[in-house]
Amino acid sequence: MRPLARSIGIGLLACALIATGVRAQGWQHIGKVEHVEKFREGLQDGMELTAGAAKVRITQVYNGVIRVRVAPNGRFPKDFSWAIAETASNYISGPVQINDEQTKVTMTAGTVIVVVTKTPLLITFSDAAGNVLLADEPSLPIAWDGPRVHVWKKMPADENYYGLGDKAGPMNRRNRAFTNWNTDEFGWQESSDPLYKTIPFFVGLRNGVAYGVFLDNTYRSSFDFGKEARDYFSFGAEGGELNYYFIAGPEPKKVVEQYTAITGRVSLPPLWTLGYQQCRYSYYPESRAREIVKTLRDKKIPADTIYLDIDYQQGYAPFTINREYFPTFEKMIADFRAQGIHTILITDLHIKKDPDHGYVPYDSGIKNDVFVKNPDGSVFVGKVWPEDSVFPDFTLTRVRDWWGGLYKNFVAMGAGGFWNDMNEPSVFLRADKTMPLDTVHRLDDGTTIDHRAAHNIFGMENARATYEGLLKLQAGERPFVLTRAAYTGAQRYAATWTGDNSSTWNHLKMSTPMLMSMGISGMPLVGDDIGGFAGSPTPDLLTRWFEVGALNPIYRDHTAKGTADQEPWVHGPEHEAIRRKYIELRYRLLPYLYTAIEEASRTGIPLMRPIFLEYPQASEFYGDDRDF
Residue 47 domain-assigned? yes
Which residue from 56, 100, 92, 98 is spatially nearest to 74, judged by alpha carbons?
Answer: 56
Residue 502 is assigned to a structural domain of this protein: no
Asked if residue 37 belongs to a domain, the reply is yes
Distance CA 103, CA 471 (A): 55
For the segment 282-316, what is each residue's pLDDT rounded down to a tens digit? 999 999 999 999 999 999 999 999 999 999 999 99
Residue among 439, 479, 446, 485 nearest 462 (CA): 485
Kindly list the distances between the CA atom of residue 554 and the CA atoms of 8, 42, 448, 511, 587, in Å, as whole numbers in the listed order: 55, 39, 37, 12, 13
Gap between the Cα atoms of 390 and 551, Å rounded: 39
Residue 244 lies in a domain: yes
* Ordered alpha helix ranges (H), 477-614: 505-520, 539-549, 573-588, 590-603, 611-614
Within-domain flag for 402:
no
H or E element that contains 265: none
Question: Cα separation of 432 and 446, whole Å?
Answer: 29
Q: Where are the alpha helices (DSSP H) in 106-177?
A: none
Looking at residue 621, its pLDDT comes to: 67
- CA-based radius of gyration for the chain: 25
Q: Which of 353, 471, 458 is nearest to 401 (CA)?
A: 471
pTM, entire model: 0.94
Domain that holds residue 93: 23-263
Cα-based torsion angle of the residue sequence 386, 391, 397, 403 in order, rounded to the nearest 10 degrees: -10
Distance CA 469, CA 230 (A): 49
For the chain, what is the total number of helices (H) and then of strands (E)?
Answer: 13, 35
pLDDT at residue number 22: 46
Tens digit of pLDDT for each residue in 227-284? 999 999 999 999 999 999 999 999 999 999 999 999 999 999 999 999 999 999 999 9
Q: What angle do CA 54, 39, 146 make, to 5 degrees?
A: 20
Tally the domains of the chain. Answer: 1
In a domain, 173, yes or no: yes
Residue 622: the pLDDT is 61
Which CATH number covers residue 199? Answer: 2.60.40.1760
Q: Which residues of the chain are modeled with pLDDT < 50? A: 1-22, 24, 624-628
Nearest CA-CA partner of 427 in 384, 484, 375, 371 = 384
pLDDT of residue 482: 98
Catalytically active residues are 421, 424, 500
Residue at 51 is within a domain: yes
The pLDDT assigned to 258 comes to 96
102 falls within a domain: yes
Instruction: Please give the single-letter amino acid code of residue 180.
Output: N
